[in-house]
Amino acid sequence: MKRTDLIPVVILLPLLGFVAAQVTETTHPAPEPRVSAVPVEAHAEAGRLGIARHMAEAAHLAPAPTPAAATDATHDLGDVRQRLAVGSAGTYINEILVERDSALARWPDRTSQPVKVWIGSGTGIKGWSDTFPARVRDAFEEWSDLGIPVRFEFVTDSLDADVHVVWIDHFDTPISGKTLWARDRSWWIVNANITLALHHNAGEALDDSSVKAIALHEVGHLLGLDHTSDTTDIMTARVRVRDLSNADRATMKLLYSLPPGSIRQGK
Ligand SMILES: [Zn+2]
């Protein structure tokens, strides 16, 4: 096996461990009015309230070249740490660093060459609505409109896409969305795929606003965010809100102001 093939295997395992650990540690939330109206992500124990947890994990490694403009081999760790220290207030960037073993992953600048997104159809799956793809597009654009250097272009040819969004009836585990992304060895994300369910695995159907909220969460992962413990954020493991919070916005902006890679010395 080539060295490049090993990278995603190494990071897949701890992330799976993280997901498993969180299932056992999370207690039942007190249902909030907005939550019960917008069930999005939840654990199995959350029963009828919940929709899903997701897994965000690095999958296969795409042999994409590292952008020449900013390799992490040259970034100044001291400078990055300083910028983190100054910019982390009001964000959950430190939780992400813990979850990611002190490394940040993000897309390179894709303003002039937008990330091509193909959104599939769930026609034929019970519970499908022709309005769902528009909600997913809304989610991509809401994150992009924060001013991060990533634009999205929605394409009709899946072969031409960097990102694929597909639909299933339900997951066999208590999740309602799943994001898989791949990075190169410099921690630049190079492609990603999102799977969205139309039903919680307990059977509850998702409506338009739930699909939008799940999509916001999964696109957050696609762009490099991980979970926060604050349940008022869209990036909490069990989504309870419909919109991005100030912390969601601030964390994404901070992530895209920093180079990707480990902030540890010697890594
Ligand atoms: Zn998630």
Task: Give the per-residue pLDDT at 267.
Answer: 56
Domains in the chain (CATH in brackets) are: 3-64+76-262 (3.40.390.10)
Please give the distance, rounded to the nearest whole angstrom, from the Cα atom of residue 224 to the centre of ligand 1: 11
Per-residue pLDDT of 177-191, as tens digits, reads 999 999 999 999 999
d(CA 71, CA 187): 9
How many residues does this entry show for the chain? 267
Distance from residue 244's CA to the centre of ligand 1 (Å): 14
Burial 102-140 (b: 16+ CB within 10 A, else e): ebbbbbbebeeeebbbbbeebeeeebebeebbebbbebb
CA of 53 to the centre of ligand 1 (A): 6
Q: What is the pLDDT of residues 13-45, one digit of tens each?
A: 233 323 222 222 222 222 232 322 233 333 222
Chain-wide mean pLDDT for the chain?
78
State the pLDDT confidence band at 202, using cuts at 50, 70 and 90: confident
Distance of CA 260 to the CA centre of its chain: 16
On the question of pLDDT at 95 being above 80, the answer is yes
Q: What is the pLDDT of residues 113-148, one digit of tens each?
A: 999 999 999 999 999 999 999 999 999 999 999 999
